[in-house]
Amino acid sequence: MNKPPVTKRQRECPLCGVAFSTTNPRGTYCEPCHHANCVICGSRFRRRFGARAIVQTCSTACRSKHAAKKRKRTLLECQHCGTLFSPKSGHLGIKFCGRDCRYKSMRKDASTTCANSRRLWKYKQWRKLVFHRDNYSCQKCGAISALHAHHIKPWSIYPHLAFEVCNGITLCSPCHKIEHGGLPMNKRGAKRIACDKCGGVITGRGKSKLCRPCSLKFSDASIKQRASILRNAAGRFSGSR
């Protein structure tokens, strides 16, 4: 069977406007226009002309990157460095442009009153020195467990005294709560027993007849230092009568 004769057609390329001859009945573009550089990676490829638009990328990966560039993005401002950045999809509540800005925001000046300042090494050292000075016991009731380092002058009002050891006092958790306006432990049903030695009120649930300060044994130097701290906390300094 004889093949049909090959017919060459003269056409004009719609991209470059050059006249060319082709044997393909559907050929619209000339051969040089079929070769182009990828707009993403820059590699040379033979492109296909789709029905919707002219292909400008060499692969599916480059086509996805090209579509992401053309997509409208939401810009947020970093709270640390102030630069504008586009977050990932579903992360519109992010506050920092990267991990470095996030960590740097946690290492702010220790004089600030943010909660992250209590994680600093300087605060931990101050807390340790206050405990060591007070013999690791509450200066109100003498408890030796659940200890907190309390600022005599508030951190929010006097930030320059935040890490002064003289501005700190050791308190247990119930006494610290009372110091900040909370309810004492004996409001929750604890028995009130008078101490046999000093006559103070015992708010514990045990069978001891002595309060915690009377039951503990301190050295003479610790007793003097503790009395001085209590006088300073109450506003009665050592020089005043």
Structurally, the chain folds into a number of domains equal to 2
Q: How does pLDDT run along the chain (241 residues), one tens digit per residue?
A: 577 777 788 888 887 888 888 887 777 778 788 788 888 888 888 877 765 567 888 888 888 888 877 777 788 888 888 888 888 777 778 888 888 888 888 765 444 444 556 667 888 899 999 999 999 999 988 888 889 999 998 887 888 888 899 999 999 888 888 888 765 544 444 455 667 777 766 665 556 677 777 776 666 777 787 788 777 777 666 554 4
Rg of the Cα atoms in the chain: 39
- Residue 157 sits in the same domain as residue 225: yes
* 91 belongs to a structural domain: no
Last residue of a domain, one of 34, 49, 68: 68
* 198 belongs to a structural domain: no
Q: Name which of 164, 130, 147 is nearest 212 in CA terms.
A: 147
Q: How far apart are CA 166 and CA 238, in angstroms?
A: 14
Structure tokens at 49: 């002309």
- Residue 64 sits in the same domain as residue 171: no
Q: How far apart are CA 20 and CA 33, in angstroms?
A: 12
* 206 belongs to a structural domain: no
Q: Which residues are CB-neighbours of 27 under 8 A, at least 6 positions away?
A: 9, 11
* 159 belongs to a structural domain: yes
Q: Which residues are CB-neighbours of 111 under 8 A, at least 6 positions away?
A: 159, 160, 162
Cα atoms in the 13 Å half-sphere on the side-chain side of 117: 13
Residues of the domain holding 168: 118-183+218-234
Structure tokens at 3: 């093949």
* 175 belongs to a structural domain: yes
Q: How far is CA 148 from CA 127, 159, 171, 223, 228, in A?
A: 8, 19, 5, 20, 19
